Structures are given as C-alpha cells and as structure tokens.
Amino acid sequence: MRLRPHHLLCTQGYSGKGYSPEFVKNMDAVVRRLRTEQKTPIELVFSTDDLCSCCPDMLACDLCRENEKVKRFDRKTAEYFGLEEKTYIYQELTAHIRSHITPEILEDICGGCSWYPVSACRKNITGKK
C-alpha cells in the first residue's frame, strides 16, 4: 500500500467522513485493514497515493486540486517525524508518531485542513479534544 506522509495522520483520525461515496468506501477498507492488522508494510511516497486514487480532488499523478496545501502537510509531517520515501510498518510508524506528537504539532500540520475543526482527528491522534 502506498501512503503519503500526512495520510499517516488522516488514517488515524478518520471517523467515516470523506469527499465522496467512493472515497469513503476505499478509506473504510484501508483504515479497517490498518487498524486490525499488526504489521502492514506501507510504501511512503511524497506524491499521490492509494487514498488519493479514489478522491475526486486528484487531478493527475502527484497533482491534488489543493496541491500547495497538501504538499505542505506532507512536508511538515515528514520534517516533524523524520520520514523518508521508503517502506515502513504502518503500526510501528504511527506508534512513533503518537509518542512524539503534541496538540501544537498537530495544529501546525493540519491547521489549514477543512476537516480539522470538525473532525475527530485531534481527539483520535493526540487524545485531547
């Protein structure tokens, strides 16, 4: 499975809402797998990924309708957690992220996301409401 850096956060925060029925169906399946398996290898890519591929906002390979914004989310996520384009075990990587993240870091990464004020991301990722 291919995931871009900020989707390591979105897959933890996800609570069933998304951009379209197709996006939600795919996200449900991906998240169910990531939350029930113990060791899922993922290829971290600094580009569009297996969640983007079902999103109405993906315009082309490596091109999101909000490319500047999502590239910033990716860059900040990669910088805060020292991420490279390579294969990781999702559950180990997200445990590493959760042990280092604070509400301030999450706000710095996700502050411009339209889901941030209305989603369960903050509570699910940092444990704080």
Which of helix, strand or coil describes residue 111? Answer: coil
Stretch that binds ligand SF4, among 28-36, 44-52, 78-86, 88-96 (CB under 6 A): 44-52
> By CB under 6 A, what part of segment 63-82 binds ligand SF4?
64, 66, 70, 73
Q: Angle at CA 121, nearest 5°, toward 116 and 122?
A: 85
Residue with tokens 């710095």: 108
| Binding test (CB under 6 A) with ligand SF4, winner from 55, 78, 83, 93 | 55
Q: Applying CB under 6 A, does 8 fall inside the site for ligand SF4?
A: no
By CB under 6 A, the count of residues binding ligand SF4 is 20
Q: Which of 51, 83, 97, 101 binds ligand SF4 (CB under 6 A)?
A: 51
Give the sign of the dihedral formed by CA 28, CA 21, CA 120, CA 96. positive
Identity of the amino acid at 96:
H
